[in-house]
Structure 1
Amino acid sequence: MKAIAIQRYGGPEVVEFLELPDPKLDPDAVLVRVKAAGLNPADRHIREGTADAVLEVRFPLVLGWDVAGVVERVGPAVTEYQVGDKVIGYVHKDWVQNGTFAELVACPVRTLARKPASLDWAQAGGLPLAGLTAYQGLHRALAVKPGETVLIHAAAGGVGSMATQIAVALGARVIGTASEHNHGYLRSLGAEPVAYGEGLADRVRELAPQGVDAAFDLVGGSALEVSRELVADPERIASVVDTAVVDHGGRYVWARPDPAGLAALGDLADSGRLTVNVAATFPLAQAASAQELLAERRTRGKIVLTVD
C-alpha cells in the first residue's frame, strides 16, 4: 500500500510517500480502505518529535489519527461491522506507528463508529479527533448544562468551531474569542464573538457582567489567566493545550477513542446541528504540502487528505 510516513523527526521535508506492506489485522479490528483523513496539530508535534516524551513512537511511522473509509475486511472476533460498511474513526493505538495517512489502515473496533450520512468523505475525515476533543471537553470535563454561559478560546478553529456548535446544541450561551475577520463566522455558528488579546476579560464582562460558568481553552498561556478571572469555580476550566490548568484545579483534556462519542457527533451532524468546515483538501501524495499549510496555523477549518 502507499502511505505517508516519516523515518526521522523534522519539518515537512521529512514526510515521505512510501510503498509499505499492507497492515496486519488483529482479531478485534477491521481493515479500512481510506477515503479521507484529517490533519491535526498533534500530527505536527509527532512529526517534529515534541511528543516523544509522552508517546511510544516507532519508525517508519505512518502519520495520522483521523480516518473515514470503507470496511474491506473484518477480524474473526468482529461482529459490529461488515465488509462495505462506511466508518469514521479516531485510530489512537497503544503506540504511534501505523497511522491513517495511507490507503489501508487496521482499526480496532473500539476506535470506530458509522459514518454520518450527511457528511461527505472530506468532512467525515475531518471530524473524529477535533470532534471528540470538543465533545469530551464539554461533556466530560466541563459538564455543560442548558442555560449556562461558556467561554471558548479560539472558537473559530478546528476544535473550537465544533465546540461552539456542540455547546449551542447543549443549550448553552457561547462567547467565543477569535480575530475580527472570523466574527461573522462565529455568529453563524450561534456564538457571540469577542476579539482576543489584551483587555479580553473586560470585553467578555461587557457581555457577561457576572462572568461565565465555564471556559474551554484551546490556546493556553494567557487564556488560562483570563479564564481564572471569569470563572468562579476552577473545576469548570478545561484546556486541551496547557497541562498547567491542573495546577489551578481545572481539567486537562486528552481525547480518547470513543465509539459512543463518535456516534453522538454523527447524530448531531445528521440532525443539522453540527457541520465540519473543510478549509482545504490534498491528495495523499501531497501530504507534505498539507503539513506546510497546517504549520502556518491560519486556516479556519480542517485540512484533509483524500485517497482515490
Structure 2
Amino acid sequence: MRAINQQVLGGPEVLELVEVDPPVPADGEVLVRVRAAGVNPADWKLRSGVVDRIGPPPFRLGLEFSGVVEGTGEEVFALWLSRAGAYAEYVAVPGEALARKPSSVDHTHAAALPGAALTAWQALAGVAGVHSGQRVLVHAAAGGVGHLAVQIAKARGAYVIGTARADKHEFVRSLGADEVVDYTAVDFTEAIDPVDVAYDLVGGDYGSRSLSIVDSGGVLLDAVGDDAEGGGDPRYRRFYVSPSGADLAEIAALVDAGTLRVHVEQTLDLADAAKAHQLSESGRVRGKIVLTV
C-alpha cells in the first residue's frame, strides 16, 4: 500500500511516500481502507519533535481519518494516536475508537471532523458543561477546532464571541458567532465583557489575559498549553482530547441534523503531505486541510 512515512524528525521534507505492507489487525482492531485523512497542527508538531507522544521515528502520522471497514463495507471515521497512522491506504484501529461516518457528508469532510470536533466537544460539552445563557469566548475561532467550537457552543445555547483576523470575521459570523473581535487591531481583554467560559486554542500569554475576563465562577479551557498553566487558579483547566467512538457518534448526529458543519479549506493528494504540512504550519488555515487517499 502507499503510505507517508518519516525516518527522522525535521521539516516537511522528511515526509516520504513509500510502498509498505498493509497492517495486520491485532485482537480488537479493525482494518479500514482509508479514503481521506485529516491534517492537524499536532501532525507537524509530532513530525518536527515539538511534541513527543509516539516516541522517536520511524513512524507514520495521521490522527484522524474516514474510510471503509474491510470485509463489511461499513463507512466509519475515527481519531486514533498510533505509530502507524492514517497517512496511508489502510489503517488498523481499535473498534471502540470507530463511529459510523455521518451519512450527510463525504469521506473528505468526515475525515476533517474527528480530531477538531472531539477537541471542541469534549472541552465545551464535557469539561465546561456549556449551557444556555452562558457567554463563551473562543480564540482562533476560524481555525480547525475553533470553527467547530463556535458551532457547538452556539448549539448549546451560549452567546458566542470569537477572536479572528478581520478577513475571517464574515466566516466566523456565518458559523453563528454573536461577536467577533479582531485581535490584531484591539486588545481583546478590553473589547470583551466578562465571560463564563474562555477556550484558548492559541497559547502563550492568551491564558493569563483570558483569565482577566473570566468570571469568578467560570472556566478557562487550555487546549494547547499557555502561561496560566501551573498558576493555581481554580478557573484553569488543562484539556487533552481522547479518542472516543461514543463521542464521535454524538458529533455525527449533530452533523446529520445540520447543526454542525466542517469547513475544508483545501484537499490534497496523499503524496502532497509535505505541502499540507507547510500550509498547516503557517497558522493561517481557515477550517481544515484533508489528504485524499
TM over 0.5, shorter chain: yes
Q: Which residue of 2 aligns with 1:194?
A: 181
Q: Which residue of 2 aligns with 1:304?
A: 290
Does the 8 A contact of 2:196 with 2:218 survive in 1? no
* Structure 2 residue 280 is matched with structure 1 residue 291: no
Give the TM-score normalised by structure 1. 0.90
List 4+ stretches of structure 1 deviating above 4 A. none
Letter in 1 for 2:148: M
Matches within 5 A, 1:230-245: 230-233=213-216, 236-242=219-225, 244-245=227-228
Matches within 5 A, 1:118-157: 118-157=104-143
Partner SS state of residue 107, structure 1 = strand
Deviations 1:34-88 (A, max 9, x none): 0000000000011001112xx2325321111101000004xxxxxxxxx100000
Does the 8 A contact of 1:218 with 1:239 survive in 2? yes
Q: Which residue of 2 aligns with 1:212?
A: 195
Does the 8 A contact of 1:294 with 1:303 survive in 2? yes
Separation in structure 2 between the aligned mates of residue 99 and residue 85 of structure 1, nearest angstrom: 20
Q: Which residue of 1 aligns with 2:3?
A: 3
Letter in 2 for 1:195: D
Does the 8 A contact of 1:238 with 1:245 survive in 2? no
Aligned match of 1:228 in 190, 203, 211?
211
**What is the CA distance between 1:235 and its match in structure 2?**
5.8
Matches within 5 A, 1:56-135: 56-73=54-71, 83-92=72-81, 96-135=82-121
Partner SS state of residue 146, structure 1 = coil
Structure 1 residues 40 and 139, CA, compared in 2 at 3 Å: closer, same or farther? Answer: same
Q: Which residue of 2 aligns with 1:172?
A: 158
Letter in 2 for 1:225: S
Give the TM-score normalised by structure 2. 0.95
**What is the CA distance between 1:233 and its match in structure 2?**
3.1
Q: Which residue of 1 aligns with 2:40?
A: 40
Structure 1 residues 111 and 142, CA, compared in 2 at 3 Å: closer, same or farther? Answer: same
Does the 8 A contact of 2:205 with 2:227 survive in 1? no
Q: Which residue of 1 aligns with 2:191?
A: 203
Q: Which residue of 2 aligns with 1:79?
A: none
- Segments of 5+ residues of structure 1 without an aligned counterpart are 74-82, 206-210
Q: Which residue of 2 aligns with 1:80?
A: none
* Structure 2 residue 264 is matched with structure 1 residue 278: yes
Deviates more, 1:17-26 or 1:232-241: 232-241
* Structure 2 residue 33 is matched with structure 1 residue 50: no
Kindly indicate which of the two structures has a greater share of residues assigned to helix.
1
